[in-house]
């Protein structure tokens, strides 16, 4: 009989994984994570333990080793099939072996096999990866350790088998600590998990350490947001090559990593054109009915999504085009094709948005994307795609490749909702689509992040981007990064380049990015010293190698022919040379020092990972949804239950959203009881205070109320307030100052006309 105490799976089998210790080191905006996984076999038979787990999608796994007793084995990177054969051969001959490999469908899923662990034996596995930290809308650098592996929606074909248990039953411990250093002071570090107080390690606050608080459960990712003072400073890091590597190779030559933060002229930024095609793609799978976070269970992901769509629709400029798609196992759209934004089309869309429910089953994102891309683009209205999803899909690479293949016709902004959202999917879509990725986790509100991305989408498109280098004589730069396809105000652009040729360490160089912004030629330049940074540990080289590997993998997938093998060969060569994993290679370690073969039949144990129970909703609802949906192209009412169709839309309780819902497409407001109620007045009180013959009164009152009482949510209403101010100015009324004065008196405010944008 199996002992049910201690480490057990949901099937009451002993679990060989005892603990995970994760140590993070952040240098400016590059992170290195070292994880130590400790296994112990408490059974009387030799074990094969299999652990499937997520890593950030853009991570470069660069070290894998094992410690068994006194024996230390460092794994080698080998071609995947060769590595798998060596692993199988080792097991069949009674040797201990370890195999780490990346999923072929999604770059953020890895499986670790610990083979032939003898009875009573322990093994410590050390896994190391490096990754760039993405910059969030509020300038925080985001690091995420995905502690949750949600079931991935699989449209067809086999999927990785994951044993899932509730968070409270995950039978191994996690410890986590982070050390942060930067040329700039660290202003704060925040997290969705409880942290111990931040400890500064020096007087100028450029080094700090922080640890995970006690009692962390495996019910959420570990997310850190790191804030530096003067975060938008461009920088360049030059790293010396590996002494043992061949000169002229990527690992043998110096590599420079350049971070640029373009700043656009205010005159260009203030003139937002009333054009664009805005397509919103909303996940309505079953899991969207779950709470946004544990502290406010009444606010579900779908209710937050409805509020967000309300703000988006009210903030669009007159004269643009728009459409809304929803998807689950099937997909739907409000209009057969994008329509011009007007009072009529806005109201029609909002009526459908209010009835949206999380009832479309699984997370099949490929089909609606194909449908959107099949629609002809509208001349002089650049397409802006906004994708919202809380799910994870198994065909991540297929989705990001599709976005990449259509990158010349649109910009893609992606939003990961809730814990466990796939960074490979969210970051990949934005990166390939020249847009921006945002993650909404913990107590985050969706609305400010989405509206920040809408401001990016309304920035003028940057064209004719080119990069040039000015280097000492005899030194040349080979750019390793894909071409820059999008530049936004204040958003970081990263460039990796290999430096070839002799140079003095005292020499300087510069890189210039030139582009056309709203028809005006612009440029940003950065000067840097070629002296390599000390104590680099080849971090920049590995990130550069990862960038090249991902580009070649993507190119290999898009080619269908005899050239595939040649590209695959190049990926394998660079992966082995750099020690960075790829989808065509794996890390293999065999313990050849164990004196005698491990005897006995091998027992396999899958290590369980936490999975939120609700994720199963997507899969359970899938066959039910198919009963109601005969086509993916019906309108948004088709397939709804009779109950939800009959229910009247619930009024917005939030006064801000109530005010927003009353705004017209033009940006104006009409004076009626609902508006007066939001302002805390009766309609009679508002009418009585109105100056004579004024048609602007309601709109000016709304602006005063927003500026006077809702400044903490300015990011959410700023665009629609600008639209309102433009409408008021376009009326050329002589009595605006008188109106503002009367409005201040009525609402008890003291707003200046200029502060309202008037």
Express each pLDDT in 448-499 by its tens digit. Answer: 888 888 888 887 777 788 899 999 988 999 999 888 877 777 678 889 999 9
The verdict on 298 and 429 lying in the same domain is: yes
Domain of residue 699 covers 655-756
Residue of 236, 251, 206 lying closest to 533 (CA atoms):
236
- In order of 127, 136, 214, 647, the CA distances from 181 in angstroms are 22, 19, 24, 55
Say how far apart CA 131 and CA 399 lie, in whole Å. 22
278 and 417 Cβ atoms separated by less than 8 Å: no
The answer to whether the CB of 223 falls within 8 A of the CB of 442 is yes
Is the pLDDT at 625 greater than 50? The verdict is no
Query: Domain tally for the chain?
Result: 2
Which of 36-45, 144-153, 253-262, 346-355 has the weakest average pLDDT?
144-153
pLDDT band at 546 (very low <50, low <70, confident <90, very high): very high
The CATH number linked to 420 is 3.40.50.410
* Least reliable range by pLDDT among 327-331, 367-371, 391-395: 391-395
In a domain, 702, yes or no: yes
Spatial separation of the C-alpha atoms in residues 56 and 546, rounded to whole Å: 13
Do 684 and 709 fall within a single domain? yes
77 belongs to a structural domain: no
| Domain contains 323 | yes
pLDDT of residue 155: 45
> Containing H/E element for 91?
helix 80-92
623 and 673 in a common domain: no
- Mark whether 284 and 404 lie in a shared domain: yes
| Residues listed for the chain | 758
Q: Between the CA atoms of 147, 153, 157 and 162, what dihedral angle is there, to the nearest 10 degrees?
A: 30
The last residue of one of the domains, among 604, 623, 646, is 646
Residue 146 CA: distances (Å) to CA of 25, 53, 196, 489, 631? 17, 8, 20, 30, 36
CB 695 within 8 A of CB 731: yes
674 in the same domain as 629: no
Contact status, residue 707 vs residue 756, Cβ threshold 8 Å: yes
Ranking 36-50, 411-425, 605-619, 652-666 by mean pLDDT, the lowest is: 605-619
8 Å CB contact between 588 and 81? no
Pick the most confident of 237-246, 282-291, 685-694: 237-246
> What pLDDT score does 204 carry?
92
Number of H helices, E strands in the chain: 18, 34
Question: Of 220, 189, 387, which is closest to residue 293 (Cα–Cα)?
Answer: 220
Residue 535: its pLDDT value, please? 64
Residue 636 and residue 326 in contact, taking contact as beta carbons nearer than 8 Å = yes
Q: Is pLDDT above 80 for 234?
A: yes
On whether both 674 and 729 belong to a single domain, the answer is: yes
What value does the mean pLDDT take over residues 692-707? Answer: 88
Token readout for 442 is 């913990």
Same domain, 619 and 752: no
pLDDT at 41 over 80: yes
Domain boundary among 646, 666, 687: 646
Dihedral of CA atoms 53, 55, 61, 67 in degrees, nearest 10, equals: -40
How many alpha carbons lie under 13 Å from residue 372 in its C-beta half-sphere? 34
What single string gives the DSSP state of each residue in 334-353?
SSSS-EE--HHHHHHHHHHH
Residues 319 and 408 in one domain: yes
Residue 724 domain flag: yes
Check pLDDT > 50 for residue 81. yes
* Residue 134 placed within a domain: no
Largest CA distance in the chain: 99
Residue 312 lies in a domain: yes
**Residue 347, pLDDT score:** 94
The pLDDT of residue 740 is 92
Cα–Cα distance for residue pair 418/390, rounded to 1 Å: 6
**What confidence category does residue 341 fall into, taking pLDDT thresholds of 50, 70 and 90?**
very high
Render pLDDT for 267-303 as a digit per residue (tens, 0 to 9).
Answer: 766 655 568 899 999 988 887 888 776 666 677 888 8
Residue 294 has what pLDDT?
65
pLDDT band at 610 (very low <50, low <70, confident <90, very high): low
Return the higher-pLDDT residue of 155 and 48: 48
Evaluate if residue 557 carries a pLDDT over 80: no
672 has a pLDDT exceeding 60:
yes
Whether the CB-CB separation of 727 and 665 falls below 8 Å is answered with: no
Q: Are residues 369 and 323 in the same domain?
A: yes
> Dihedrals φ, ψ of 356, to 5°?
-65, 135
Q: Is the pLDDT of residue 626 over 50?
A: no
Identify whether 229 is part of a domain. Answer: no
174 pLDDT band (50/70/90 cuts)?
Answer: confident
Residue with tokens 């939030």: 654
Dihedral pair phi/psi, residue 428, rounded to 5°: -65, -45
Residues 723 and 634 in one domain: no
Same domain, 399 and 327: yes
pTM (2 d.p.): 0.73
CA atoms within 13 A on the CB side of 153: 32
Measured between its terminal Cα atoms, the distance across the chain in Å is: 79
Q: Is 566 exposed, middle or buried (0-12, 13-18, 19+ CB in 10 A)?
A: exposed
The residue out of 622, 646, 670 marking a domain boundary is 646
| pLDDT averaged over every residue in the chain | 80
Q: Are 101 and 609 in contact (CB under 8 A)?
A: no
Q: Are 60 and 131 in contact (CB under 8 A)?
A: yes
Residue 698 within a domain: yes
pLDDT score at 279 = 95
pLDDT confidence band for 219 (50 / 70 / 90) = low
Task: Please give the residue that has the higher pLDDT: either 519 or 527.
Answer: 527
**Choice between 15 and 622, residue whose per-residue pLDDT is larger:** 15
* pLDDT for residue 615: 38
Report the alpha-carbon distance of residue 673 to residue 656 in Å, rounded: 16
Lookup: tokens for 205: 């606050």
% pLDDT > 70, the chain:
81
Same domain, 635 and 731: no
Q: Give percent of the chain with pLDDT exceeding 90.
A: 29
């Amino acid at each position: 009989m199996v002992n049910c105490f201690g480490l057990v799976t949901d099937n009451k089998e002993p679990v060989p994984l005892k603990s995970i210790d994760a140590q993070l080191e952040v240098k400016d905006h590059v992170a290195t994570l070292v994880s130590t996984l400790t296994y112990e076999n408490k059974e009387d038979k030799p074990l094969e333990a299999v652990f499937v787990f997520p890593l950030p999608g853009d991570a470069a796994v660069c070290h894998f080793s094992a410690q068994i007793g006194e024996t230390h084995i460092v794994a080698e990177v080998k071609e995947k099939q060769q590595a798998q054969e060596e692993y199988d051969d080792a097991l069949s001959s009674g040797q201990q072996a370890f195999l780490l490999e990346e999923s072929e469908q999604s770059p953020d899923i890895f499986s670790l096999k610990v083979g032939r662990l003898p009875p009573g034996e322990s093994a410590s596995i050390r896994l190391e990866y490096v990754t760039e930290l993405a910059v969030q809308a509020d300038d925080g650098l985001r690091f995420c350790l995905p502690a949750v592996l949600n079931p991935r929606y699989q449209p067809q074909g086999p999927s990785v088998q994951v044993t899932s248990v509730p968070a409270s039953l995950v039978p191994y411990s996690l410890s986590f600590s982070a050390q942060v250093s930067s040329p700039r002071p660290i202003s704060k570090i925040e997290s969705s998990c409880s942290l111990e107080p931040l400890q500064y390690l020096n007087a100028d606050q450029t080094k700090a350490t922080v640890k995970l608080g006690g009692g962390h459960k495996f019910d959420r990712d570990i997310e850190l947001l790191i804030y530096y003072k003067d975060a938008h400073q461009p920088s360049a890091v030059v790293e010396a090559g590996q002494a043992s590597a061949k000169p002229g190779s990527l690992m043998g030559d110096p590599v420079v990593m350049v971070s640029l933060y373009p700043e656009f002229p205010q005159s260009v930024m203030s003139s937002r054109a009333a054009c664009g095609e805005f397509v919103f793609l909303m996940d309505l799978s079953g899991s969207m009915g779950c709470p946004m976070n544990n502290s406010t269970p009444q606010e579900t992901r779908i209710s937050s999504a409805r509020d967000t769509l309300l703000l988006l629709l009210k903030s669009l400029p007159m004269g643009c085009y728009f459409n809304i798609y929803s998807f689950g196992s099937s997909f739907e759209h409000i209009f057969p094709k994008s329509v011009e934004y007007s009072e009529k089309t806005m109201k029609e869309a909002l009526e459908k948005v209010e009835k949206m429910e999380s009832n479309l089953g699984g997370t099949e994102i490929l089909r609606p994307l194909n449908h959107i891309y099949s629609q002809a683009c509208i001349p002089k209205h650049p397409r802006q795609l906004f994708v919202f999803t809380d799910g994870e899909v198994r065909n991540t690479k297929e989705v990001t490749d599709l976005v990449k293949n259509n990158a010349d016709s649109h910009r893609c902004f992606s939003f990961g909702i809730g814990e466990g959202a796939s960074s490979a999917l969210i970051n990949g879509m934005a990166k390939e689509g020249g847009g921006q990725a945002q993650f909404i986790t913990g107590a985050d509100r969706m609305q400010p992040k989405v509206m920040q991305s809408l401001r990016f989408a309304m920035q003028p498109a940057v064209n004719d981007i080119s990069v040039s280098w000015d280097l000492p004589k005899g030194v040349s730069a080979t750019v390793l990064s894909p071409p820059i396809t999008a530049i936004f105000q204040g958003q970081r652009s990263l460039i990796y380049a290999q430096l070839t040729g002799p140079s003095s360490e005292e020499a300087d160089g510069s890189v210039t990015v030139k582009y056309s912004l709203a028809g005006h030629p612009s440029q940003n330049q950065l000067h840097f010293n070629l002296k390599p940074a000390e104590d680099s540990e080849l971090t920049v080289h590995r990130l550069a190698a990862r960038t090249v590997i991902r580009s070649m993998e993507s190119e290999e997938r898009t080619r269908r022919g005899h050239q595939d093998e040649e590209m695959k060969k190049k990926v394998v060569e660079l992966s082995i040379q750099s020690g960075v994993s790829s989808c065509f290679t794996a890390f293999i370690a065999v313990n050849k020092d164990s004196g005698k073969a491990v005897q006995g039949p091998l027992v396999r144990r899958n290590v369980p990972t936490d999975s939120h129970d609700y994720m199963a909703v997507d899969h359970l609802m899938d066959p039910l949804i198919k009963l109601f949906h005969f086509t993916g192209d019906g309108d948004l009412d088709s397939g709804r239950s009779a109950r939800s169709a009959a229910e009247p839309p619930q009024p917005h309780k939030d006064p801000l959203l109530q005010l927003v819902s009353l705004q017209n497409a033009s940006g104006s407001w009409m004076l009626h009881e609902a508006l007066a109620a939001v302002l805390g007045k009766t309609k009679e009180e508002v009418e009585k205070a109105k100056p004579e013959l004024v048609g602007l009164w309601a709109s000016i009152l709304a602006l005063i109320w927003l500026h006077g009482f809702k400044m903490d949510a300015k990011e959410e209403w700023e665009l629609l307030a600008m639209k309102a101010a433009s409408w008021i100015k376009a009326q050329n009324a002589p009595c605006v100052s008188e109106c503002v004065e009367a409005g201040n008196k009525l609402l008890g405010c003291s707003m200046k006309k200029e502060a309202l944008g008037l």
